[in-house]
Structure 1
């Protein structure tokens, strides 16, 4: 009898030890996140292009031939630096009326002299350039001209060097030595590359997500350096691509000097909404049809219906259904049932 009691006692102790071990071995293990208060921000993501904040198209001032180009794309220039030279055939001066013939050769010669002097002054020549003409006699000009009084003015050639009006980098050169250009034709484009703006396109459906003065974060070619800026302009014109998708251009003014070249690819993040001191759960939380599973103080699974607000890649904002400190089950492969006992990893 005594031996039997000893055996029964041993079995009881073994059962007390074995049952929890068996239960533990069959209990599911889960990862959880703790609901906490914090800040959440939502961004609109896009890709844009860096462009100089100021562009200057330097124009030819006359019809003529380009005799020299002093710059190439990428060159740094200062305001006042010479860019190119154009040699032009220009017409100017005081007209010489045929009626002067009646006044005699001296009157005619005086009018021709005044025309030559006027042309020289108009086009920037030193009067000394005409000394040889003066020495040989003004009359010789008319004598050597087939139709001395058929012309109404005197032709004068001029070579003009055009200079940059801003400091920056040469973005484009549209002519080479020997090219013929017309007045007002753009020959060189200068950009203020020390100060960049960023341009990107936003679709017709996403246009309402952004607004003027919205804060932006910018990075060049995926670098870790983050620059800041704000939206300065949203185009009122939608343009369609080949597939018919409509979008409009947006300009960002940077508040930092971006270390990049014109045309560089820029990753754009535009702040669209943000909240502080709000209840958050991890972005990997298991949410199904507006419900989550939490683990209560007894390590039992409990279902909760929640309402979410702002969402980004990292967090969900929870506006109702949870309390700070609740342990929310993260996404996992195994199904969790209400009331099931769980182990927390």
Structure 2
């Protein structure tokens, strides 16, 4: 647990040096944290009273190129695809220059993520794997928000048992990325966590209402229109499907028709929802419940990217917390090592295939969790009888 993270850190440093060497004198290479451009640019437009233009690809691109001139030579576009309440969340970033805003946003999310992991797993040995988790470093390098969403999900689950209202607020803010938040209300409903569920709904509704009051109702219709961009990019395979860890991408890469790919994704989503109902509907270890919810949330939407696999870090932490107390099963530690390195698979392995195996890893992990829950529930009556 000390050696492997340090080796990975050495790889990060080597990659950064090679990138900087190649970057010298070239204008056709994408800058680091490029995916942060839409967030800062959308915030800039909103701050100057043009919030609806954040959903206008042409207007947004002008701000992006002004902030990062290298982007003008890059292929493709970077649209703003988030709901208006997310625009309200990123608005303060426009008060800072681009570089300072990127450091604050990404660095702050990284610190929150590491502290959240350390709260779940209090062992000192967990620090290095959390600090140098490939999924975390990958998110920072591309400039995405996967660490922030993972931290919100993690802190929400940490607070749920003792501070349900705080948990509901965290999970309500998670609606900044709605496709990742779909199963959380189901889990709260199954566990009868009424205060947390009410706080979640109230937080999501109030932040959206406030955003529409500040930015105008046109931003909501513009957001709904822009969701078609994401859908079209996946359906037409314009998106890099090697970086989309979903059953839909797996089926599409195997040349299945769109209807069959969507049917497979729908079946996967139903299985994930059933798993959450099974874990949260009856008594079992809270750590296993939390890990199941995190894992299942990555199996619902066809619109998911490899930077969202930073959630694997939260999953690993909850599973470790349970296993450190109750013992490890055969192969479980080795499987968590696979999950630890898995977020890099889209760029390093699948792109050379291509065969999108990441949803299969998530499904296998979900099955492992459900088996452990079933084993725990079978053992509970035996332990109670022996105690009598």
Q: TM-score, normalised by structure 1?
A: 0.16
Give the number of the structure whose residues are more often strand, by fraction: 1
Q: TM-score, normalised by structure 2?
A: 0.15
Give the number of the structure whose residues are more often helix, by fraction: 2
